[in-house]
Each structure stands twice: as structure tokens, then as C-alpha cells.
Amino acid sequence: METATKNLENDHVNILRLIDVMEQMVLTVSTELSHIEMAVSLIKNYADGFHHAKEEKLLFPMLVTKGFSNDQGPVAVMLHDHVEGRLFVKEMTETIATIKQGESSAFTRLYENMQGYIDLLRAHISKENNVLFRMADEALTPEEQLALLTGFAAVEASDIGSAQLDRFMTEIDGLEAIYKS
């Protein structure tokens, strides 16, 4: 049976693909700004705008109704990670703008922020898949899982759209083909 947590884990597969690509960009010292900008855009729109929206607007609030806390424990840790990830993305975006203004020495700062994001997300996804989602599976009834899946489908339909999700996957595929390790 498809569950809300399995749906989120499926998103994680694609997010991990994206950060693997980003790591190859860092390791190969890629200066192809269009590729880096596409990766950052995918983080903003897919990983954060779509995936984290499902967690923050639907899963986490439901877990709070089941006794989890927003202030401490696993949900609080995940929310903190989301904030930290957004700070890395903000730095990447600002650094790309600096590079475009001719300051090529800023690539070092860009790679540092990319690697920081990569490390954060790998640990974050591991914590969600192995700890938080297993706790959620214990706490949520089948009806609640279904309600979350329905909510996720609504987020996809209204906020993103299936054509946009297909575009995200095509972009990840394209970057992956270029930066395959």
C-alpha cells in the first residue's frame, strides 16, 4: 500500500540524485553556471517548494496532532534542517550573482555552500527515512496516511502541476547524464 511516508521517500530518491549531481559539479570544479543555476532552481522548486511543502504544510502538522512537538524532537530537527538548507541556497544564489558580476574567485564560496547543502541533505534524508518516517508510520492510522496522500496530490495539482514535476525530472535526468560519476 502506498503511504504518505513512502511518497516522501520517493521524492528523496530524486533529491539524492540531484545532490549526487551537485557533488560531481563540486568535485569536477564545474564553472558551467547554467548547470549550477539549474541545480539551485531544482532545489528551490522541487526539493523545497514541492517536497518540503508537503512535509511542512501536511505531515508535520498532522504529527503534532499525534503528540510530536515542533519545538523539540524529530519534527523540530527536520524543521531546523529545512531552515539551514534554505540558508545554503540563499548563499548559493547570492554567490552565483557575484560570479556573474565578474568575481570568479567566488566559485570557492559557491562550492563550499554546495557541499554544505549536500552534506546537510544526505544526513537530513537519512534521519527522515530511518527515524521520523518510521515513527510516523507507527503513529498514523491508514486513514491518516490516505488523508496525507490526498493532500500531497492536491499540492501537486495546485501548487506545482504534473507537467512541472515532469520538467523537474527531465532536468535532473539531463544533469545526471552530464555529471555521471
* pLDDT tens figures, 71-130: 999 999 999 999 999 999 999 999 999 999 999 999 999 999 999 999 999 999 999 999
pLDDT number for residue 131: 96
pLDDT band at 139 (very low <50, low <70, confident <90, very high): very high
Q: Which three cell numbers stand for residue 2?
A: 502506498
Q: Mean pLDDT for the chain?
A: 95
Q: How far apart are CA 42 and CA 2, in angstroms?
A: 25
The candidate with the shortest Cα–Cα distance to 79, out of 69, 91, 89, is 69
The candidate with the shortest Cα–Cα distance to 8, out of 144, 131, 152, 162, is 152
Q: Please tell me the number of Cα atoms within 13 Å of 58 on its side-chain side.
A: 24
Whole-structure pTM value: 0.94
pLDDT (mean) for 147-154: 94
Give, as one character, the DSSP assignment of residue 28: T
pLDDT number for residue 157: 83
Say if residue 65's pLDDT is above 80.
yes
CA distances from 136 to 121, 151, 162 (A): 20, 16, 26
Q: What percent of the chain has pLDDT over 90?
A: 88
pLDDT number for residue 73: 93
pLDDT (mean) for 141-153: 95
**What angle separates helix 33-42 from helix 4-27, to the nearest 10 degrees?**
160
Q: How far apart are CA 111 and CA 47, in angstroms?
A: 19
Say if residue 64's pLDDT is above 90.
yes
Contacts of 162 by beta carbon, 8 Å cutoff, 6+ apart: 156
Say if residue 181's pLDDT is above 80.
no
pLDDT (mean) for 47-64: 94
pLDDT number for residue 159: 65
pLDDT (mean) for 136-161: 90
| Contact criterion met (CB below 8 Å) for 124 and 78 | yes
Domains assigned to the chain: 4-179 (1.20.120.520)
